[in-house]
Structure 1
Amino acid sequence: MIDVHAHWLPRDLLALPPGNPLGGMNDRDGELFLGDAPLAFPTAAMTDIDTIVADTREAGLGARVISAPPFAFPVHAPAEADDYVASFNEQLADAVSGADGTLAGLGLVRLDDLAAARRELTRLAAAEGIAGIAVPPVVDGRSYDRGVPRQVLGAAAELGLSVLVHPMQLPRAEWDHHYLVNLIGNPVETTTAVAGVLLGGVLEELPGLRICFVHGGGCAPSLLGRWEHGWRSRDDVRRGSSRPPADSFGLLYFDTVTHDPEVLTLLRAHASPDRIVCGSDYPFDMAQPAPAGFPVDHGIDAATLEANGRRFLGLPPADAQQRPGES
């Protein structure tokens, strides 16, 4: 089984990209901090490839797909982040190529400049073990129904690269307590991106796009009926798409990090059965416990998850090539 949602960042990039307001990540006696806030896991779980491989095997997974933590997305001063992005992508390619097929990677790109993004996408497409990119759901108040972010999806689809959409915990005053910036903010960010893709007609334009929304798609499964009603009732809702949102919903990939069997059941009621993939959010404290066991225990068999993960990543079926994901 392949876990498509896990994180890694080399130690020399813990300072985070230029302009980042969070104070950088830092190691304190083996524990990782974001600024002065403890992240509640060992630094090695984020930075050390041998540790990640060992933890992958201990979790009963055949493979993991690693991407940068969302703090490392180059969105705050993107024009100054080219060196950071290039360094991450180069080190990611080196890391996964040396992991004996246990790891694959999703690289970084800028989302403000199509030429800069295409340059990195082209390099990533040529790198062994790199399956695509990880991106935030919202950039400067926009999502993937317009502007450069939408164009980046087009370039990724053209190059056969997968796209994993991961929230950033964007701050809002009403979410400054009880960790609501994560508990509410993350699902809302993801939901915004799902709506943008569906109602913006992205999949009509890019039918070959492989795009996955983490955390079970956030609130999207519970709002799909509302979107469907709005699309049928209002000209402004259906202006950007030729298909009702429920028709396109089945073309999106979603991971299994829902923390609730009933939410996973709701996701399965709306998503296509060949578009649900195993996820963990390793190594964060909000990670899904037992990422391999949780979906299997609640009705999704391991072979289906394996096949779906390979399909999302653009890999051949397991019987054609045993790694990554060999059990």
Structure 2
Amino acid sequence: MTTRPGPIDVHAHWLPQHFFGLAPGSPLPPLQDRSGQLHLGDLPLSIATEAMSDIDRVLADTDTAGLGSRVLSAPPFAFPVVDDRGVDDFVGTFNDDLEKACRDSAGRLLGLGLVSLHRPESARKQIAHLASSDVLRGIAVPPLLGSTSFDVSPMREILGAAAEHDVAVLVHPMQLPRPEWASHYLANLIGNPVESATAAAALTLGGVLDELDGLRVCLVHGGGCAPALVGRWQHGWTHRSDVRAAGSRAPQEAFADLWFDTLTHDVDALELLAAKADPTHLMAGSDYPFDMGTHDPLQLPHAAGIDDAALETNARAFLGLDTQE
């Protein structure tokens, strides 16, 4: 796959309007276009409908952001989090549409497809199909499925299939509601970083990264609050046998195997992430077109001393692209 030269945004979303009904069995209300603005049921999302659904708008905004290319995945409210008999068809149709949109973009768009989260055998077949595409480079999944994460089935099996087929995995939080986070948008402002940290803990303390050698997993939003917690995990691993029971490596060492986007909203937070993570595993991310994203995904990494060449090289390695193209 030949992509346009320049930094790559690994964290952006797209959902055409014929998927606005969301995945079969979704607990969420369908999306609606109201006078050009996107609503989730009656909830306004502060997103222009065409920014989420129209490829021409996505391409124009990609150019405006100074990017070489952008990696599209479904928004998290479209994840198939309920085991419904129609999920396999929904996933297959979305992935086919995403592949066509990327293939028609002249090297400016790549994609991360969906999988049937509750059905590892279906997911394995879907991942094998994605692996045969030069424009679909992996999968996007939530950090939690019900009350479980990546250290147990079915999510652990899905990661095993991703590692087997050498595809990338992007982990995006779901903004799950909790009563104590009902006001002030805390389900996002606190909930999303906590979901990502939970996934990071499951991956490092659960021995997943040790078992699945070569697995490439990116936690968006800079890994949420995980960079600030990894020292605490290290202390627990050192002093408690139950913390180190499932993993063979110290958390600080395993944490360096994870990948992250740079969307931390704060230079100090990004510098903390860079101190805890492998610097070659940091990539530009915008969360386009969400209101908690940015129209300029290069500004923050530039402020932290990460240049465009590094951002492009790192993203190409994560996506399994030839770094010599």
The answer to whether structure 1 residue 316 and structure 2 residue 322 are counterparts is yes
1:122 and 1:272 map into 2 onto residues whose CA distance is: 28
The answer to whether structure 1 residue 205 and structure 2 residue 207 are counterparts is no
8 Å CA contact 1:78–1:112 kept in 2: the answer is no
What value does the CA root-mean-square deviation take over the aligned residues? 0.9
Give the structure 1 partner of residue 154 of structure 2.
Answer: 148
1:102 and 1:226 map into 2 onto residues whose CA distance is: 41
Give the share of equivalent positions with the same residue, in percent.
55
1:34 and 1:166 map into 2 onto residues whose CA distance is: 18
Structure 1 residues 203-231: Cα deviation after superposition (integer angstroms, max 9, x where no partner)? 11112101100000011000011000000
8 Å CA contact 1:93–1:128 kept in 2: the answer is no
Using the TM superposition, give the Cα deviation of residue 89 of structure 1 relative to its aligned residue in structure 2, in angstroms: 0.5
Divergent runs of 4+, >2 A: 76-80
8 Å CA contact 1:199–1:245 kept in 2: the answer is yes
Using the TM superposition, give the Cα deviation of residue 289 of structure 1 relative to its aligned residue in structure 2, in angstroms: 4.4
Matched residue pairs, number? 319
Give the structure 2 partner of residue 54 of structure 1.
Answer: 60
Give the structure 2 partner of residue 260 of structure 1.
Answer: 266
1:193 and 1:135 map into 2 onto residues whose CA distance is: 11
Give the structure 2 partner of residue 9 of structure 1.
Answer: 15
- SS of 1:236 mapped into structure 2: coil
Give the structure 2 partner of residue 28 of structure 1.
Answer: 34
| Aligned AA (1:247) | E
2:235 and 2:272 map into 1 onto residues whose CA distance is: 18
Identify the match of residue 102 of structure 2 among 90, 96, 107: 96
Instruction: Judge which range, 122-131 or 3-12, deviates more.
Output: 122-131
The answer to whether structure 1 residue 162 and structure 2 residue 168 are counterparts is yes
Alignment of structure 1 residues 49-128 onto 2, 5 Å:
49-128=55-134
1:143 and 1:69 map into 2 onto residues whose CA distance is: 19
8 Å CA contact 2:65–2:295 kept in 1: the answer is no
8 Å CA contact 2:172–2:220 kept in 1: the answer is yes
2:288 and 2:186 map into 1 onto residues whose CA distance is: 20
Query: TM-score by structure 2 length?
Result: 0.96
Using the TM superposition, give the Cα deviation of residue 232 of structure 1 relative to its aligned residue in structure 2, in angstroms: 0.6
Give the structure 2 partner of residue 250 of structure 1.
Answer: 256
8 Å CA contact 1:144–1:193 kept in 2: the answer is yes
The answer to whether structure 1 residue 285 and structure 2 residue 279 are counterparts is no
The gaps in structure 2 that reach 5 residues or longer are 1-6
Structure 1 residues 90-128: Cα deviation after superposition (integer angstroms, max 9, x where no partner)? 100111000001000000001211111112111111123
| Aligned AA (1:169) | Q
Structure 1 residues 252-310: Cα deviation after superposition (integer angstroms, max 9, x where no partner)? 10100100111001001100110011100000000034201221122111111110000
Structure 1 residues 150-208: Cα deviation after superposition (integer angstroms, max 9, x where no partner)? 01001011111100000001111111111111001100000000000000111111121
The gaps in structure 1 that reach 5 residues or longer are 322-327
Give the structure 2 partner of residue 132 of structure 1.
Answer: 138
1:259 and 1:33 map into 2 onto residues whose CA distance is: 25
The answer to whether structure 1 residue 193 and structure 2 residue 199 are counterparts is yes
1:79 and 1:218 map into 2 onto residues whose CA distance is: 33
1:16 and 1:53 map into 2 onto residues whose CA distance is: 23
- SS of 2:154 mapped into structure 1: helix
Give the structure 1 partner of residue 44 of structure 2.
Answer: 38
8 Å CA contact 1:258–1:288 kept in 2: the answer is no
Give the structure 2 partner of residue 325 of structure 1.
Answer: none
Using the TM superposition, give the Cα deviation of residue 47 of structure 1 relative to its aligned residue in structure 2, in angstroms: 0.6
8 Å CA contact 2:83–2:118 kept in 1: the answer is no
1:173 and 1:114 map into 2 onto residues whose CA distance is: 32
1:286 and 1:5 map into 2 onto residues whose CA distance is: 12
Query: TM-score by structure 1 length?
Result: 0.96
2:126 and 2:137 map into 1 onto residues whose CA distance is: 13
8 Å CA contact 2:288–2:295 kept in 1: the answer is no
Identify the match of residue 282 of structure 2 among 276, 287, 291: 276
8 Å CA contact 1:167–1:189 kept in 2: the answer is yes
- SS of 2:253 mapped into structure 1: helix
Identify the match of residue 215 of structure 1 among 213, 218, 221: 221
2:83 and 2:184 map into 1 onto residues whose CA distance is: 29
